[in-house]
Amino acid sequence: MATDPVCKMLVSEKTAKWTTEYKGRKYYFCAPGCKKAFEENPEKYLKEIEEEKE
Ligand SMILES: [Zn+2]
Query: Ligand 1 center to residue 25 CA distance, Å?
Result: 17
pTM given for the model: 0.86
Q: How many domains does the chain contain in total?
A: 1
Q: Residue 21 pairs with which residues in a beta bridge?
A: 26
Q: Which residues of 22-47 are buried (b: 16+ CB within 10 A; e: fewer)?
A: eeeeebbbbeeebbebbeeebeebbe
Query: Ligand 1 center to residue 54 CA distance, Å?
Result: 22
Q: Please tell me which residue, 52 or 8, carries the higher pLDDT value.
A: 8
pLDDT computed for residue 12 by the predictor: 97
Q: CA 11, CA 19: separation in Å to the nearest integer? A: 10
Question: pLDDT per residue over 5-48, tens digit each?
Answer: 999 999 999 999 999 999 999 999 999 999 999 999 999 999 98
For residue 54, pLDDT beyond 60? no
pLDDT computed for residue 51 by the predictor: 77
- Full residue range of the structural domain in which residue 20 is found: 2-53
Query: Ligand 1 center to residue 29 CA distance, Å?
Result: 5
